[in-house]
Structure 1
Amino acid sequence: MLSAVALLPGVIAVAQLGRIHPDEVFQALEPAWWRVHGYGVLAWEWRDGLRNWAVPGVLAGFLKLADALGITEPRAYRAVLAIPQAALHAWSLWAAYRFAERRAGPTGGGWAALFVGLYGPVLVFAGRTMAESISASLLVVAMEALDRRERETRAGLVGGLALGLAVVARYPSAIFVLAALVWLAASRRWRLLAFTCASGLAVALALGTLDWATWGTPFHSFVAYARFNVFSGRAAAQFGADAPGFYVKPFLAAVPLWLWAAVPSALSALRQRRAISLPLWCATAYAGVLLATAHKEERFLYPALVLLILAAAPSVVTFLAQEFGPRTRWSLTGLALVSSLAVGAVFPSGDLRADQIRAIVAATRGDARGLLIVNEGLWGSGGFFYLGKRIPWLTCDWPRDAAFQHALRDARFNRAVTFEDRALKELQAGGFRIIGRIGRETMLSRGE
């Protein structure tokens, strides 16, 4: 059952395409394409060295494998790239089961793992090449490892490895690392703490070596990222700043109804001065930092939400098992799972533009020599990764834009995709004819 659930996010991402945020393409897929093929669109972070090459490097390896197997259709090689992430997600769900099993028994552990795996935002995020997606899966693995009471040496090595890799995938996850180390120290679990630090240090040294090899200086990307996002205030100046209340609406939208049933248990632990669970502590510490950080985005909540679900699910499952008979328990559990799934319809709240990416893939098959994308900017496009070939392409908003006028004059541009039919009449007047529609996108061709 968990194996099938683990595959769902990857299957959804490949079948749906689209992107949660431009970073899904331009911080992972497009750099991997550039690494393999020698061309592509590199975002400013890759010019200034704010990113490390670990995740794009792994994806590039699987992209090379796809090339070696003769897989050249974008959706097909995107499916190949989903393999490592699906394996990571499966590991995280197994970790969620182990974490919950200690508190709710084997049956309760299975149900709690389903609560995590079928949580709507997990289904949306976990199959996508977002830094938050990869980091959150690794954090779940780390939470389970550091929760163990047996074989602490191995637990520390696994936990430190997962925490370190979570930071490599997404530098703000260093907040979770610091919170976890404080929790271990407060719990006086010194052996576990020591091996966690040793394993994490090994990952840090590997990151330093990678940056040295790719950027010319050890830890170049981490230092550049911290300088831009933490110490200079440039992130807020460039991308905007918001009050702490920014997160209230997305948080409330993302929390399934059943999670509130775990609040009394957490409050009781505090009153009795019992230690709260590691994932709850880490999620709370991270949320506090998010509230205090000027630049805010809805997607930043995702890792904390996953850890909250992980922390709450065992107590809710135990409560249902203890307080209700089989028929009522099954009904309430079913309703809880439905409420978890439903959250995926409202979080994240942005437009995935899945029909646009699918239309771009469809329009550029065959003898496409150039593509014009109307009603979309550069960072909302699919890059060369979803074109799958080295052809000229342009984005524009209106027929009066220079890119639109250039594409109409250049005979190489024999394909066009327009969102919500913007400039459709002007495209048809320029010799394009409609060849199909996918959702809100219209595909056009000319010269045939």
Structure 2
Amino acid sequence: MLLTDSPPISQPVCSERRVASSITSGLSLPILLVIAFAARVPAILWSRGYTFFDEQFQYLDPAYHLVTGAPFLQTHEWVNGIRSWVFPGIVAGFLEVARFCGFEGPESELIFVRLCLAVISLLAVYGIWELVRAAKLETHRTAVLILATCNGILVYQGVHPNGPAFSCGLVIFALGLFAFPGRLRALLAGLAVGLAFCCRPQDGLFGASIFVAGVLTKRTADAIVFAAGCTVMILVQGWVDLVTWGSFLHSPIEYVRFNLAHSSNWGGQSIFTYLVVVLIFAPFAHTGLRYLAIGSKRLPWVAFAAAIALVAHQILDRKSPRFVTPSLALVILLWSIGVARAHVQDMTKRGVARFFVTTSWILAAILHAGLFFAASISYASRQRIQTALHLGTIPDATGIAYCGLSPIDSGGAFYYRGTAPRHYVDESELVAMLDVGTEISHVVMRAKTSLELPPPWQLATDAEFDAVWNPSGRQTYVIYRLRRAE
């Protein structure tokens, strides 16, 4: 029994044959995988930087630490033990292979890491292919597959080294596996969701949703095998925490406890945040929601899983689209399935109905082309990263003072390959360091920042690096060489 709606018993046999033929027509899985990988190549090469600090300081820097032993910023997450070492360990493995293969330097190593992640992200492509197959689309199957696998969300999440991005692909892979019966499929789905839990505990909610769906559709044996797969990876996480933090399942327990108690510290977002985002990815407001509802009828259990995750995140004060990317990827899939179904239902109609179906595809193409472009060539935090890269190439640097900047502005440990120590100070602290003879050769400040140094110290501009978006000019980082006046 599939987890999809069955066709009406009264449906003519010839119509059933047409539907069956349409399900197997269009793109084959190998061709879809090739297209999806090709769509990720620009992001592998050029999607650099990090859009949120956690990617750098919670995942990439700890991974680099595992490889080299280099110190990294001890944020409160690492001090309190609310981060798992599982995903940093995975990235560390990629970095080790990159170095073994001769990749040198931060940017080259990251291209290799993104390549590895992109290959693994094809599991999500397979998952979507299975979900579309389960939806039994009569038309537009190719368009649905391309939109659902090559949109900006899955492209970006497919190549960036952070736990939530990696988890997103695993969740979709698991949903696709569980769309059809089979013990092996259920076991692999459970292992995938269990690993997703290791990378991001909240995504374990999808495991609960899949289990409930299996029981409700009388696939109890599959549900039990699925739960066993999840349990294996939960035990792995518990063992890793026992070794690293000293207690079983320390990181997910502390993670949940911390977020329930302190998410309001970063809150203030509108209660309509997730609704607005859903409406963006299901365009045309009520019409888009209609398409979403139509698609959800084809895959009701998938819609249930996506909705549960959205509702759970709605409870917390802190809200961000990046917290619910698996649900958003599923919204895009369900919406596109709904548009394809609406085409069948409305193709005999004229006027408004056909206009909305056609225009919906056009609007989706424009929206997702823009997101795809942004995901493929983005360079968030460019000024921080380029500053760190440049400082690492200065052979005579003896000490670097980030004046008026914090460690979070440094670009992290991974990008800085120099040996000179970095200090984070204000103006008075910098002057005091110079007075006591601390070796400082370079100073980093934001542009348009004044700094008065006592004689005989002078600053000479060495390099400047701009942010991608910098209308105020305040996000430009300036590197000065500190020297004594003659």
Report whether the alignment pairs 1:293 with 2:319.
Answer: no
Tell me how far apart the structure 1 counterparts of residues 309 and 189 of structure 2 sit (CA, whole Å): 18
Question: In the alignment, what sits opposite 1:212?
Answer: 242
Q: Is the 8 A contact 2:47 2:379 kept in 1?
A: no
Report whether the alignment pairs 1:94 with 2:123.
Answer: no
Tell me how far apart the structure 1 counterparts of residues 291 and 278 of structure 2 sit (CA, whole Å): 19
Q: CA deviation at 1:330?
A: 8.5
Q: CA deviation at 1:319?
A: 3.5
Question: Once the two structures are superposed, what CA deviation does each residue of 1:307-363 show, in whole Å capped at 9, x if it has no partner?
Answer: 2112222232344477569xx99886454222223357999xx99323332332234
The one-letter code of the counterpart of 1:255 is F
Question: Once the two structures are superposed, what CA deviation does each residue of 1:176-230 show, in whole Å capped at 9, x if it has no partner?
Answer: 2212222222222112212111111111122222222222222122222233223
* Pairing partner for 2:408 from 379, 395, 410: 379
Question: Once the two structures are superposed, what CA deviation does each residue of 1:60-118 show, in whole Å capped at 9, x if it has no partner?
Answer: 12222233344331111111222332122122122212321333559844322321234
Percentage of pairs with the same residue: 19
Look up the SS of the partner of 2:459 in the other structure: coil
Tell me how far apart the structure 2 counterparts of residues 423 and 346 of structure 1 sit (CA, whole Å): 34
Report whether the alignment pairs 1:12 with 2:43.
Answer: yes
Tell me how far apart the structure 2 counterparts of residues 421 and 253 of structure 1 sit (CA, whole Å): 40
Give the paired residue count: 434
Question: Once the two structures are superposed, what CA deviation does each residue of 1:232-272 show, in whole Å capped at 9, x if it has no partner?
Answer: x1x235x33447615257525742527965532554689xx
Q: Is the 8 A contact 2:402 2:424 kept in 1?
A: yes
* Pairing partner for 2:388 from 350, 360, 368: 360
Q: Is the 8 A contact 2:291 2:336 kept in 1?
A: no
* Pairing partner for 1:434 from 457, 462, 470: 462
What is the root-mean-square deviation in Å for CA atoms of aligned residues?
3.7
Look up the SS of the partner of 2:49 in the other structure: coil
**For residues 173-252 of structure 1, what are the structure 2 equivalents within 5 Å?**
173-230=203-260, 233=261, 235-236=262-263, 239-242=265-268, 245=271, 247-248=273-274, 251=277
* Pairing partner for 1:444 from 473, 479, 482: 479
Question: Whose radius of gyration is greater, 1 or 2?
Answer: 2
Tell me how far apart the structure 1 counterparts of residues 143 and 268 of structure 2 sit (CA, whole Å): 38
Q: CA deviation at 1:4?
A: 4.8
The one-letter code of the counterpart of 1:17 is R
Q: CA deviation at 1:378?
A: 1.9
Report whether the alignment pairs 1:26 with 2:26.
Answer: no
Report whether the alignment pairs 1:135 with 2:158.
Answer: no
* Pairing partner for 1:391 from 409, 420, 424: 420
**For residues 38-49 of structure 1, what are the structure 2 equivalents within 5 Å?**
38-41=69-72, 42-49=74-81
Question: Gapped runs of 5+ residues in structure 1?
Answer: none
* Pairing partner for 2:187 from 141, 146, 157: 157
Tell me how far apart the structure 2 counterparts of residues 252 and 403 of structure 1 sit (CA, whole Å): 48
Tell me how far apart the structure 2 counterparts of residues 268 and 250 of structure 1 sit (CA, whole Å): 19
Tell me how far apart the structure 1 counterparts of residues 111 and 77 of structure 2 sit (CA, whole Å): 26
Q: Is the 8 A contact 2:284 2:360 kept in 1?
A: no
Q: CA deviation at 1:174?
A: 1.8
The one-letter code of the counterpart of 2:458 is G
Distance 1:225 1:213, change over 3 A: same
Distance 1:57 1:265, change over 3 A: same
**For residues 115-126 of structure 1, what are the structure 2 equivalents within 5 Å?**
115-126=147-158
Q: CA deviation at 1:153?
A: 0.9
Q: CA deviation at 1:21?
A: 1.2
Q: Is the 8 A contact 2:403 2:427 kept in 1?
A: no
**Which has the larger helix fraction?**
1
Q: CA deviation at 1:23?
A: 0.6
Question: Gapped runs of 5+ residues in structure 2?
Answer: 1-31, 349-354, 468-474
The one-letter code of the counterpart of 1:156 is A
The one-letter code of the counterpart of 1:359 is T
TM-score (structure 2 length as normaliser): 0.77
Q: Is the 8 A contact 1:259 1:316 kept in 2?
A: no
Q: Is the 8 A contact 1:364 1:371 kept in 2?
A: no
Q: Is the 8 A contact 1:141 1:159 kept in 2?
A: yes
Question: Once the two structures are superposed, what CA deviation does each residue of 1:133-162 show, in whole Å capped at 9, x if it has no partner?
Answer: 11111111011111114xx11220121111
Stretch of structure 1 that moved more, 111-120 or 170-179: 111-120
